[in-house]
Amino acid sequence: MDDAKQILSELNGYYLEDLTVGMTAVYAKTITDTDIVMFAGISGDTNPVHLNQDYASATMFKSRIAHGMLSAGFISTVLGTKLPGPGAIYISQTLKFKAPVRVGDTVVARATITEIVPEKKRVTLKTVCTVGDTVVIDGDATVMVPVRAG
């Protein structure tokens, strides 16, 4: 086995053949002020509802909120590092933002396999982010998953 194939073999997550409907993985992160400021800098989204308490206090949220896409990024973390994991390629994602996330909230991103399409090497997953018992993001993802060689 050449070096490149060995690295792929060692780093790869699940292969399509290893997956079953119902498999679930999670990632949890407590949101900090630094997370919000860094996400604003990286994304360029400097909407004052995320960065300016005086502005945010006059909105329906009454205080600063995290970027929705920051929390949605945790879904990518689950898919790319846990289930299916390294080697999976994002094809699509739907997102419904249901509630705000604030500094100090712990976001739990969960992905559960709902369908496997072997002929297309694709997997569909239910994706949900929660803070406590509150659903903050609801959606579905489709990923392409590697198969074992030969």
Strand order in the sheet with 122-131: 24-30, 106-117, 122-131, 134-144, 89-97
pTM of the predicted structure, to 2 decimals? 0.92
Residue 28 domain-assigned (yes or no): yes
Distance CA 118, CA 121 (A): 5
Residue 11 domain-assigned (yes or no): yes
Q: List residues bridging with 135 in a β-sheet.
A: 130
Least confident segment among 4-13, 39-48, 75-84, 93-102:
4-13
Structure-token pair, residue 149:
């060689």
Range of the domain at 63: 3-144
Count: domains in the chain: 1
pLDDT digit string (tens) for 5-59? 777 677 778 999 999 999 999 999 999 999 999 999 999 999 999 999 999 999 9
The predicted structure's pLDDT at residue 36: 98
Residue 149 domain-assigned (yes or no): no
In 3D space, the residue among 82, 110, 62 whose CA is nearest the CA of residue 18 turns out to be 82
Residue 137 domain-assigned (yes or no): yes
Residue 150 domain-assigned (yes or no): no
CATH number, domain with residue 41:
3.10.129.10
Residue 69 domain-assigned (yes or no): yes
Token match 């990518």: residue?
Answer: 76
